[in-house]
Amino acid sequence: MPGEPIRWARLEPAARDRELAPGLEARVHDPLWLLARQWQFGEFAAVDGGSAIVAQVSASVAPMAKLRPGRPSPTARTSNYSVPAVPLETLVEADDLHAAPTARMRVRAGQHFERMLAARNLGQYAGPFRTAYPIAATTPPVADAAGRRFLALVAGRAIDGEKLYKDLKVSLRATPPALPAAPVIPAADAAAVIAVAQAWVAWFDALAFTPSGGPAAWVQDRLEYAFGTGTPDGIALEADEYADGHLDWHTFTAAGTTANPPAGRSTLGPVTVVPTAVTYPGMPASRLWEFEDGRVNFGAVSAEPEDLGRMLLSGFALVYGADWLMVPLEVPVGTLVRITRLDVKDTFGRTTTVGPTAPGGEWRMFELSRAEGGSEDALLVAPALGASLQGRDVEDVLLLRDEVANLAWAVEKAVEGEDGLPADQARAAGEAAAPAPPVPPPDGAVPYRLRTDPPPYWFPLMPQRAVATNPSMSFRLGALPRVSPSGPVTPLRPRGRLLTPLSKDPKLLLREDEVPREGARVTRAYQLARWMDGSTFLWLGRRKTVGRGEGSSGLRFDTTEPPT
């Protein structure tokens, strides 16, 4: 009736059962609805397909047993390689720290020798060792001011640990072990000092992984590493472009022919395992009432008709993504593994032998490519480090093209200073003595300059043909002369270890493709990693990455400048 107030009545459920489970189960009492849902999901289709319940896998394993640093050649040196002993990255990358030790390294080694003497109550001999093995203040000359200050601070106050180490390595090999001629140690304390020297040399050897002669795998004309390994069954694994410091199966290319019968292989299995479904974020839920994770939503992927890659990815993930099973097989690290047989048993009791997906030899995922084409039917479990700590770059070289000057340059941005820190070459050039002011021209004359001077840490890469009949070009590292008013013309040379070999050997050429338009950056830095047995390895390695594009040196010839 119009005008009557609206009355509300609240209905409250009254549960006759104290348990809450029946209400939470949300039971459906409509059998036709359940039958329709079963038909919709295809449960009434008579598909004779069972689920995999057990699998048996067999494999043959061939370990990596040889290591050859550098490119393949008749004179290449091949040695035995043991995976558990040393990481492969360490063997390949490590520099020789004793070839050009910094003053900081020499001083710290000498200080530790003094501490070991004091711990054995032999501290009175630290002074004589400082006199016999002094740190020179200015030899060789140091470019950066920080290095000169460090040398001035430690000169005459510390033992040169590198010189002492080299002398002790020789004298302690004698029978019986002896000490160097200087300083003279009394016979009463000679045995105790020899024991300290032996313990100190062992400490110095274990401080960092240091191969004799430097990284033999470093290819100077490409500024990257190259090495090869081999298995007893005749397969050679070549890594001809290893530069980024991340070693894995894709670093290698297979070569050689498998021996018949294959030697050195061991059989693994048959191993019985239970296959498990492969899962990934965003895959369809396997249960009807399960809420799917919305962080990865393939249904929301927006793709245009021409975006075939996105549509294929979405279709594969939503339609075929749940058809993959994982069959785990544990194999030793550093081995070449071939799956010889895989049998899968389903719920109907049938056993299916699974063969390769590409029996014709086409490329397959995670298989090694061969240099002559095709792929090797094996999986390489590379002895790679999971992670390593990298220090700051102690040396930094930038390779770039200068289109204005029609040259390529090797820019030595930083080198390892005597204080152990990277010495900025731009700052060192600014701290150097200012050049003499130019002589003003006579009245009315136009000032003339034969050429401008690029920064002193820029070294030209001069193109030339390596072979007269080869049209490809290579780069030879040159040097721009510096004219001193009080001395002769002296060419500037690199100070770091990356470019010095190129400057010393005129026959050593840098490949043209190693200096692309985007440039290249080569660095040296200390690496620290822990291996599978818990041992720690420290080494000085090199890296090569993409550069920063083109640059300009400001080099010009035959220029005139208006008077100021």
**Cα separation, 179 vs 192, whole angstroms:** 11
Which has more pLDDT, 29 or 408? 408
Helices (H), 261-343: 308-315
Which residue has tokens 């152990």? 420
- Write the CB contacts of 127 (distance below 8 Å, at least 6 apart in sequence): none
The answer, yes or no, to whether the previous bond of 275 is cis (omega within 30 of 0) is: no
Mapped onto helix, strand or coil, the DSSP state of residue 527 is strand
pLDDT at 10: 82
Is 189 inside a domain boundary? yes
CB 204 within 8 A of CB 109: yes
Q: How many domains does the chain have?
A: 2
On the CB side of 264, how many CA atoms lie within 13 Å of its CA?
Answer: 16
Structural domain ending residue among the three candidates 207, 230, 247 = 207
Tokens in use for 449? 């300059």
Tokens in use for 328? 């785990």
pLDDT band at residue 452 using 50, 70 and 90 as cut-offs: confident
pLDDT at 259: 67
In percent, the amount of the chain with pLDDT more than 90 equals 30
pLDDT at 563: 47
**Cα separation, 513 vs 231, whole angstroms:** 32
Is 228 inside a domain boundary? no
In percent, the amount of the chain with pLDDT more than 70 equals 90
pLDDT at 562: 57
456: left (phi over 0), alpha (psi -120 to 50) or beta: alpha
CB 342 within 8 A of CB 51: no
Out of 10-24, 52-66, 174-188, 210-224, pick the least confident: 10-24
pLDDT band at residue 522 using 50, 70 and 90 as cut-offs: very high
Full domain range(s) for residue 160: 103-207
What does the pLDDT average to over 422-435?
78
Structural domain ending residue among the three candidates 143, 175, 207 = 207
Is 67 inside a domain boundary? no
Which residue has tokens 């002993």? 85
Is 220 inside a domain boundary? no
pLDDT at 553: 85
The DSSP bridge partners found for residue 370 are 254
What does the pLDDT average to over 444-472?
78
pLDDT at 342: 93
- What SS3 string covers 475-520? EEECCCEECCCCCCCEECCCCCCCCHHHHHCCCCCEEHHHCCCCCE
**192 burial via Cβ count (<10 Å: 0-12, 13-18, 19+):** middle
What does the pLDDT average to over 282-310?
78
Alpha-carbon distances, residue 363 vs 68, 152, 258, 356 (angstroms): 27, 62, 19, 11
Tokens in use for 416? 């390892």
**Cα separation, 110 vs 162, whole angstroms:** 8
CB 155 within 8 A of CB 135: yes
pLDDT at 564: 46
What does the pLDDT average to over 368-384?
82
Q: Is the pLDDT of residue 52 over 70?
A: yes
Count other C-beta atoms under 10 Å from residue 35's C-beta: 12
CB 368 within 8 A of CB 376: yes
Q: What is the separation of C-alpha 70 from the centre of its chain, rounded to a whole number of angstroms?
A: 17
**Cα separation, 93 vs 225, whole angstroms:** 8
Is 420 inside a domain boundary? yes
Give the strand pairing for 253-255 and 236-242. Answer: antiparallel
What does the pLDDT average to over 197-219?
89
pTM of the entire predicted model: 0.79
Highest mean pLDDT among 185-199, 230-244, 315-329: 185-199
Is 377 inside a domain boundary? no
**Cα separation, 527 vs 93, whole angstroms:** 10
CB 466 within 8 A of CB 417: no
Q: What is the pLDDT of residues 259-286, one digit of tens each?
A: 666 777 888 889 999 999 888 887 777 7
Tokens in use for 226? 């190259």
Nearest partner of 526 among 190, 208, 110, judged by Cα? 208
Alpha-carbon distances, residue 24 vs 27, 30, 193, 221, 287 (angstroms): 8, 17, 82, 73, 18
**Cα separation, 247 vs 342, whole angstroms:** 29
Is 460 inside a domain boundary? yes
Is 110 inside a domain boundary? yes
Q: What is the pLDDT of residues 141-176, one digit of tens each?
A: 666 888 888 888 898 899 999 999 999 999 999 989
Q: What is the pLDDT of residues 10-33, one digit of tens each?
A: 877 776 777 777 767 767 777 888
Output the average pLDDT for the chain. 84
Structural domain ending residue among the three candidates 182, 207, 232 = 207
Read off φ and ψ for residue 332, nearest 5 degrees.
Answer: -65, 150
